[in-house]
A and B are shown apart, each in its own frame.
Chain A
Amino acid sequence: MRSICVTEVDLERLRELVLVARSCSELDQVSLSGLQRELDRASIISAQAVPSEVITMHSHVRIRDVETSEEREFTLVYPRGADLEQGRISVMAPLGTALLGCVGDIIESPLPDGSMRHLKIIAVVYQPEAAGHFHL
């Protein structure tokens, strides 16, 4: 393979690009394998047949931290729609992946320090399929 030619200035900007993109995709990589594992082991059902207590995409849930009793509400969204301040959590985030497909149980979600946090799903406040919103 012949050598290609790149200017110093282009190299500097391209290296930066690779670094930024890689640090993003390394984060993605962790959650990607988690999400893929969940997709592989899930029971697949039609949107019309899904029980109303299952957390589907765009579902709005209330959860309680078992240790601290703190309660929070989240909407499970695709990465583009994520906004943590508004409780819109990406399905690619560890907590989002953990919520997907669950039915009113206690789930485990890893914290950045590696410890596990236990969260009890108290209620599915809104589920698009139960509300007949099949377009979401």
Chain B
Amino acid sequence: MSTRNIYITEADLKRLRPLVEEIKNSRDDLRMLQRELERARIVAPEEVPPNVVTMNSRVRVRDVAAEDATTYTLVFPEEANIELNRISVIAPIGTAMLGQQVGDEFEWQVPAGPVRLRVEEGLYQPEAAGHFHL
């Protein structure tokens, strides 16, 4: 790469910097998911306990400190929709939720520090409902 001076406008820089950050963050998220998959206990869909958070499961999750609960569906990235609380498994909270059981507490890393969450209730699990195609 050339060492000559180059020029960038402030306006372009303001858009290019977040772009670089965004890609870096998604790389970290991916690494986290991979680590979870490596340490997971693997079971057949027919044998998974009905209280485990599997893909496409819907669960109510409680913020232990704030005492407010939210219902989430854990989905693949292309189906994610934050407004409908459809959380991608690559998002940090999605990765943290994967494979937990009702009653488990887990940590969600946010920029302000870790938030402690508890899986309060399993509302739907495809395997328990016999929906093995999902």
| From A11, A17, A37, A78, residue with most partner B Cβ within 10 Å | A17
Q: Complex formed: what's the CA distance from A38 to B41 in Å?
A: 44
Number of interface residues of A (CB under 8 A): 54
**Inter-chain CB contacts under 8 Å: number:** 156
Q: Is the CB of A15 within 8 A of B76?
A: no
Whether A108 and B9, one on each chain, are in contact in the complex, defined by CB atoms closer than 8 angstroms, is no
- The answer to whether A21 touches B41, judged by C-beta atoms less than 8 angstroms apart, is no
Complex Cα gap A44–B8 (Å): 5
Given A18-B34, A32-B23, A4-B98 contact (CB < 8 Å): yes
Chain B contact residues: helix, strand, loop or mixed: mixed
Asked if B45 and A7 make an inter-chain contact with CB atoms under 8 angstroms apart, the answer reads yes
| Bound-complex Cα distance A102 to B33 (A) | 39
Q: Please name all residues of chain A whose beta carbon is closer than 8 Å to the beta carbon of B99 when the two chains form the complex.
A: 4-6
Provide the bound-state CA to CA distance between A31 and B15, in Å.
Answer: 16
B19 at the interface (CB under 8 A from A): yes
Scan A115-136; emit 1 where CB is below 8 A from any B CB, else 0.
0000000000000010000100
Does A9 touch B at the CB level, under 8 Å?
A: yes
Please, which residues of chain A bring their CB within 8 A of the CB of B49? 5
Known: A4-B98, A8-B45. Is A43-B30 also a contact (CB below 8 A)? no
Q: How many residues of B contact A (CB 8 A)?
A: 49
Tell me if B66 is interfacial: C-beta within 8 Å of chain A: no
Query: Contacts A6-B54, A35-B20 given: A45-B39 contact, CB under 8 Å?
Result: no
With A32-B23, A43-B8, A45-B10 as known contacts, state yes or no: A107 contacts B2, CB within 8 Å: yes
The secondary-structure label for the interface of chain A is mixed
A: residues with CB less than 8 A from B are 1-11, 13-15, 17-18, 21-22, 25, 28-29, 32, 34-39, 41-47, 50-51, 54, 56-57, 78-79, 91-92, 98, 100-103, 105, 107-108, 129, 134
Closest 5 pairs (CB-CB, A-B): A4-B99, A101-B6, A6-B40, A42-B8, A47-B9
- Give B contacts to A, CB under 8 Å: 1-2, 4-13, 15-17, 19-20, 23-24, 26-27, 30, 33-34, 36-37, 39-45, 48-49, 52, 54-55, 76-77, 89-90, 98-101, 104, 127, 132
